[in-house]
């Protein structure tokens, strides 16, 4: 069986690695230069996208920002899973907000901004603490602005007036004083069967995910049910097949959807060591019609992103139950270079491993690691 | 870092998959046609062996029967791990027996046969129950003959007289009434540090491994120590680096070495799901100088080889903690097509999973599965 993935980065790489043992060949479309490549070596397979689509049994994506023409071509083949409607809901915050409203899934209060003047009305209704996001092509903190108090409004309007808001509207969201960010990664099979990984707690820094801990501590049945209900509504709306990630803000006992990602997700990387069947294998299983695998957490896991640095010591592999996942990239500021998965029987065992890990790392590049270890050490 | 593996079959494939997350690129030499290939797709990398050796940081092997000229070339690069002496000890039973004698490691009584007439003396000293093995290029039961009683001797001599015994001597071994076959897979790092996986029990059928169970049931500390001592003597003799597998016959409370394999081994495939760090990852870690990973068994595991058949149902993946590892081959009689890894908390849980698995398989191709499940069910 053959799978063609749009996007040839680390997510395609990890899907490839999970697919080989299942006898499934994964190729990737480099959407930058429209070539079909081996997802590991990035060598061209000397194959047109048309031929690759023809040969593939299933098409899928590693990211939602697939250029429109490619996405349309993929959808029209009849082989794209999840389908383009679902992918676009992840790619376009206007569509995302529309579907959340339609399905009555709680999310932050917001206004859609197609002219900077509409910001005045947004401030009147939502207050002067706003986070403003480009509706498309923003990721990892890019394409985001903050209004912290009313004095900044004129300057912000000035900045934003230089954008083409008719073409790419903004979403102005009320800044929510949330306790933490959680994400639910789940998978829906071809027959509509659903498996959930446990909720992960995600720690961001400057707009990028740095650490995920799973299962997230202090999850009530109530929180779980809110998350799973939102997930179920979304996958049923789109007749979704594959892995879907839903990011939430926890505000008291409530979850507000922050965003949805129609694909395997950075906050699910812990599943490689932390569960029997990783999100990558389960995505491949789902889209190829294989039975879904066990998503239960084996113990407590942490995933530590390696961002913008390569001056760690590989002696970190001497730590028991510590695994390195590198993406084969040259270093650049803010670039995700790889991640480290850690597991422990308890949160305090996990905290110990995290503290040991810190000794092998340039700690300024891992600003969330030790604080989180301290927090986890206090749990059990 | 770059690793070049001699041999481009499933073992090279699984080393490749384990190496990618460590940021290590694995290429393979197809020793049949002297090309350098991608170990998964088998696509030629359009690179001469000389250039591939030049570019590689380390060379290693997936099998011991590397043609002599290639092995010499590899050794002379100074990058081959384990070294060619160790590889030849696995490739040549005359060398293997010599090193076992030298190191006083218990093994079956035997005679080296370079002329068929020497079989008479062998029968006189060892008795008329013999297993006769070609000293080189035999595997999976090929190149083996049995003498079950004295009346067969003349006919056997007739058969063997057609071989070039001067060039490829035979080993005539006394047939040992052993209780079972066990194997020890271990790994030695560049600094001489050693990690052992627990002993596995191996079930053969017609000369091929069908099922491994690990940790093997009923292992005494005494058996463990015998196995580990034999392993230590061998790796120290050769200043061995990488994974080494030693196969044993258990006879009462004693272990006799059956054979040694200077590489990752079929009886270690269970480590992919059954331990934190698979034999494939640990081999790559060892030869590239990385710290060795945890080899402890997580629970009880079984590895089921898929041999000469492809008419199983992939619905077997619906079984909890059941993993498929396919090698991407077209089916042929006796060909190893892939394996299935199963895990359970206890032997009886494992037995249950094995029994469930049988429902998805053409059972005549898995002659050892259900009997072994019955045996394991009785343990705990």
Q: How far is CA A77 from CA A27, A49, A65, in A?
A: 16, 12, 19
Query: Does residue B68 sit in the same domain as residue B120?
Result: no
Q: How many residues comprise chain B?
A: 380
Domain co-membership, A164 together with A191: no
Q: Where residue B114 sits, what CATH number does that domain have?
A: 3.30.1490.20
The pair of structure tokens assigned to B363 is 């059972």
Mean pLDDT of A202-215: 96
Determine, yes or no, domain membership for B90: no
Is A276 an 8 Å CB contact of chain B?
Answer: yes
Task: Kindly tell me if the per-residue pLDDT of A142 is higher than 80.
Answer: no
Query: Are residues B6 and B74 in contact, defined by beta-carbon separation less than 8 angstroms?
Result: yes
Same domain, B267 and B152: no
Residue A289 lies in a domain: yes
Residue B186 belongs to domain with CATH number: 3.30.470.20
The answer to whether A294 contacts chain B (CB < 8 Å) is: yes
Does the pLDDT value for residue A237 go beyond 90? yes
CB atoms within 10 A of CB A14: 26
Mean pLDDT for the stretch of residues B22-40: 97
Q: Any idea what the Cα angle at residue B85 is, between residues B79 and B90, rounded to 5°? A: 115
Partner-chain contact A318 B38, CB within 8 Å: no
| A41 vs B contacts (CB less than 8 Å) | 25, 38
Q: What is the mean pLDDT of chain A?
A: 96
Contacts of B359 in chain A (CB under 8 A): none
The Cα of B46 is separated from the nearest Cα of chain A by a number of Å equal to 12
Q: Could you say which of B17, B320, B343 has the minimum Cβ distance to residue A20?
A: B17
What pLDDT sits at residue A143?
A: 84
Partner A contacted by B148 (CB < 8 A): no
For residue B13, the chain A residues in CB contact (below 8 A) are 20
- Binding site annotation covers A139? yes
Comparing alpha-carbon positions, the chain B residue that sits nearest to A39 is B20
Of A38, A294, A326, the CB nearest to B320: A294
pLDDT of residue B380: 83
Tokens of B45: 């990398």
Which of B15, B23, B52, B326 to mutate against chain A (most A CBs within 10 Å)? B23
**Is A144 a known ligand-binding residue?**
yes
**How confident is residue B141, by pLDDT bands cut at 50, 70 and 90?**
low
**Subunit contact B317:A285, Cβ cutoff 8 A:** yes
Residues B236 and B357 in one domain: yes
The candidate with the shortest Cα–Cα distance to A228, out of A203, A204, A257, A252, is: A257
Do B353 and B265 lie in a common domain? yes
Q: pLDDT category, A141, cuts 50, 70, 90?
A: low
Whether A88 is in a domain gets the answer no
User: Which positions in chain A touch B25 (Cβ < 8 Å)?
Assistant: 41
What is the pLDDT at residue A140?
A: 64
B40 touches chain A (CB under 8 A): yes
Q: What is the 3-state secondary structure (H, E, C) of chain B?
A: CEEEEECCCHHHHHHHHHHHHHCCEEEEEECCCCEEECCCCCCECCCCHHHHHHHCCEEEECCCCCCHHHHHHHHHCCCECCCHHHHHHHHEHHHHHHHHHHCCCCECCEEEECCCCHHHHHHHHHCCCEEEEECECCCCCCCEEEECCHHHHHHHHHHHCCCCCCCCCEEEEECCCCCEEEEEEEEECCCCCEEECCCEEEEEECCEEEEEEECCCCCCHHHHHHHHHHHHHHHHHHCCCEEEEEEEEEECCEEEEEEEECCCCHHHCCHHHHECCCHHHHHHHHHCCCCCCCCCECCEEEEEEEECCCCCCHHHHHCCCEEEEECCCCCCCCCEEEEEEEEECCHHHHHHHHHHHHCCCCHHHCCCHHHHHHHHHCCC
Residues of A in contact with B325 (CB under 8 A): 21
Q: pLDDT band for B87, please (50, 70, 90 cuts).
A: very high
Q: Please judge whether A20 and B38 are an interchain contact, meaning their C-beta atoms are less than 8 angstroms apart.
A: no
Read off the pLDDT band of A137 (50, 70, 90).
Answer: confident
Whether residue B187 lies inside any domain: the answer is: yes
Q: Which residues of chain B neighbour A314 with C-beta distances below 8 Å?
A: 290-291
Which residues in chain B are closer than 8 Å to A21, comparing Cβ atoms? Answer: 17, 323-326
Mean per-residue pLDDT of chain B: 96
Say yes or no: A20 contacts chain B, CB-CB below 8 A: yes
Q: Is A13 on the interface with B (CB under 8 A)?
A: yes
Q: Write out the two tokens for A1.
A: 């069986």
Return the residue of A nearest to B329 by Cα. Answer: A23
Best B291, B297, B301, B359 residue to mutate vs chain A (most A CBs within 10 Å): B291
Instruction: Tell me the average pLDDT across B63-89.
Output: 97
Question: How far away is chain A from the Cα of B31, in angstroms, using its nearest Cα?
Answer: 22
CA distance A359 to A380: 23
Same domain, A165 and A185: no
- From the list B109, B4, B129, the residue with the least C-alpha distance to B54 is B4
B25 reaches A (C-beta below 8 A): yes
A138 is an annotated ligand-binding site residue: yes
Q: Which of A150-159, A227-236, B72-81, B238-247 has the lowest mean pLDDT?
A: A150-159
Say if residue A156 is in the same domain as residue A233.
no
Residues A37 and A163 in one domain: no
Nearest chain A Cα distance for residue B328, angstroms:
6
B334 and B193 in a common domain: yes
Cβ-nearest to A324 among B22, B324, B325: B22
Residues B331 and B238 in one domain: yes
Q: Comparing A185-194, A251-260, A305-314, B138-147, which segment has the lowest mean pLDDT?
A: B138-147
- Stretch A347-368: mean pLDDT: 97
User: CA-to-CA distance for B331 and B309, rounded, in angstroms?
Assistant: 6
Angle at B279 between CA B276 and CA B280, to 5 degrees: 105
CATH number (domain holding residue A15): 3.40.50.20
**B contacts of A293 (beta carbons < 8 Å):** 317
Q: Of A59-63, B167-171, B232-236, which gets the smallest average pLDDT?
A: B167-171
**Into how many domains does chain A fold?**
3
* Per-residue pLDDT reduced to its tens digit, A173-200: 999 899 999 999 999 999 999 999 999 9
Residue A281's pLDDT is what?
A: 98
- Which of A228, A251, A181, A244 is CA-nearest to residue A209? A181
Instruction: Tell me whether residue B29 is in a domain.
Output: yes
Whether residue B137 has pLDDT greater than 80: no
Domain boundary residue, one of A174, A198, A228: A174
Q: Which two tokens stand for residue A208?
A: 């990028």
Is residue A235 in some structural domain? yes
- Chain A residues within 8 A of B269 when measuring between CB atoms: none
Residues B320 and B345 in one domain: yes
Kindly tell me if the per-residue pLDDT of B140 is higher than 90.
Answer: no
Q: In angstroms, what separates the C-alpha of A325 from chain B's closest C-alpha?
A: 4
pLDDT at B312 > cutoff 70 = yes
Residue at B87 is within a domain: no
Q: Tell whether A338 is within 8 A of chain B (Cβ).
A: yes
pLDDT given for residue B139 in this prediction: 63
**What are the pLDDT digits (tens) for B12-23?**
999 999 999 999
pLDDT cut 70: percent of chain B above it: 99
Q: Is A78 on the interface with B (CB under 8 A)?
A: no
Domain that holds residue B348: 180-377
B95: in domain = no
Domain endpoint, select from B174, B193, B212:
B174
Residue B142: per-residue pLDDT: 73
Question: Is there a single domain that holds both residue B140 and residue B207?
Answer: no
Is A320 annotated as ligand-binding? no
Query: What local confidence, expressed as pLDDT, does residue B223 receive?
Result: 98
């Amino acid at each position: 069986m053959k799978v063609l993935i749009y996007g040839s980065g680390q997510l395609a790489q990890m899907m490839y690695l999970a697919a080989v043992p299942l006898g499934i060949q994964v190729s990737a479309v480099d959407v930058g230069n429209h070539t079909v490549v081996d997802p590991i070596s990035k060598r061209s397979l000397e194959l047109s996208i048309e031929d690759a689509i023809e040969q593939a049994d299933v098409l899928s994506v590693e990211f939602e920002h697939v250029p429109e023409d490619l996405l349309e071509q993929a959808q029209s083949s009849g082989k794209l899973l999840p389908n383009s409607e679902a992918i676009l809901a992840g790619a376009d915050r206007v569509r995302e907000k529309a579907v959340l409203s339609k399905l009555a899934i709680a999310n932050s209060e917001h206004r859609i901004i197609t002219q900077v003047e509409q910001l005045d009305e947004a401030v009147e209704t939502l207050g002067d603490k706003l986070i403003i996001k480009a509706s498309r092509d923003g990721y990892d903190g890019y394409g985001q602005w903050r209004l912290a108090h009313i004095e900044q409004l004129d300057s912000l309007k000035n900045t934003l007036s230089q954008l083409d808001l008719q073409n790419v509207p903004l979403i102005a969201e009320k800044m929510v004083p949330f306790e933490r960010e959680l994400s639910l990664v789940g998978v829906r099979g071809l027959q509509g069967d659903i498996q959930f990984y446990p909720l992960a707690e995600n720690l961001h820094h400057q707009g990028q995910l740095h650490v995920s801990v799973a299962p997230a501590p202090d999850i009530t049945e109530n929180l779980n049910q809110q998350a799973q209900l939102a997930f179920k509504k979304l996958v049923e709306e789109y007749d979704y097949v594959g892995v879907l990630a839903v990011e939430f803000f926890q505000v008291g006992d409530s979850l507000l959807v922050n965003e949805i990602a129609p694909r395997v997700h950075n906050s699910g990387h812990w599943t490689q060591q932390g569960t029997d069947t990783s999100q990558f294998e389960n995505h491949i299983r789902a889209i190829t019609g294989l039975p879904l695998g066990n998503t239960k957490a084996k113990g407590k896991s942490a995933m530590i992103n390696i961002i913008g640095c390569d001056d760690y010591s590989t002696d970190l592999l001497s730590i028991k139950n510590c695994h390195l996942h590198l993406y084969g990239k040259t270093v650049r500021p803010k670039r995700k270079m790889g991640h480290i998965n850690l597991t422990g029987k308890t949160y305090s065992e996990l905290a110990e491993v995290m503290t040991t890990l810190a000794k092998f790392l340039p700690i300024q590049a891992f600003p969330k690691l030790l604080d989180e270890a301290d927090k986890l050490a206090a749990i059990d």
